Amino acid sequence: MFLCILNGSGEVLLHRNIATSPDSFLKAVAPFRDDLVVGVECMFAWYWLADLCSKEGIEFILGHALFMKAVHGGKAKNDKIDSHKIAVLLRGGSFPVAYVYPPKMRSTRDLLRRRNHLVRKRAELLAHIQNTATQYNLPEINVNLSHECNRKEVDKHFPDTQVRKIVQVDLAMIDAYDDVLKALEWDIEKTARVHDKHALMLLRSIQGVGRILSLVILYEIHCIERFDTVQDFASYAGWSNASTNREARRRGPVAPRLATPI
């Protein structure tokens, strides 16, 4: 990884490629530890460095990758150039800050996201069975294939033996996904009750929030206080600006602050 260190005047004190290891990083920054602030772009591999800085008492700031790209976008781009641009943004106060998710619940959040990936793959298999019936101009399958009891005889819907084999493969994979997901969801829920059972129960008391959605809200939001306003939270959740503005006007001229933990 490329490491770029600037002083208060913007002069480059160190700019080189180092091994991605705790020992290499600590050795490189050792002469500058007194007033060091580490800024990292929010990509997929920042966990270890955030935890290392926390352990060593070094201030760590995570940069929002999308906003950072908008601020320092340019034609020339590589790791060396980007490391200098990130340091310049950090020194100039233009560093778009992202939330540093704490390690206690981080791995469970990643496990929940992996579950979402597996659910999507399962949905693709269900859709493929329906599409196969359409491909061969067969009557529509008028049952909900998500339920195991409705899948027992569905392969007989396909008269061609080879096409039937395709469907049987899909069904076998769906059954396998069901077994994996059932065990995975049980494990995530058990862990969530240890992390914050009270918040989990409060979320499930909301009409329309079920077993899985409550887990997603719990782990993706983590701490509601990190959002200063309703608009900040709405942006994070992916709601449209128009809807957010209408809600803000309905509530009054000043948006309420989110101060109640979930």
Q: What is the pLDDT of residues 141-194, one digit of tens each?
A: 999 999 999 999 999 999 999 999 999 999 999 999 999 999 999 999 999 999
Percentage of residues of the chain with pLDDT beyond 70: 89
Kind and range of the H or E element at 12? strand 12-17
Both structure tokens of 124: 């693709």
pLDDT digits 0-9 by tens, 179-208: 999 999 999 999 999 999 999 999 999 999
CA-based torsion, 79, 81, 83, 86: positive or negative: negative
- 3-state SS class at 61: strand
CB of 79 within 8 A of CB of 2? yes
Whole-number Å distance between alpha carbons of 176 and 75? 47
Q: In degrees, to the nearest 5, what angle opens at C-alpha 117 toward C-alphas 191 and 217? A: 45
Both structure tokens of 158: 């396909």
pTM of the model: 0.81
Measure CA of the first residue to CA of the last residue in the chain; give whole Å.
38
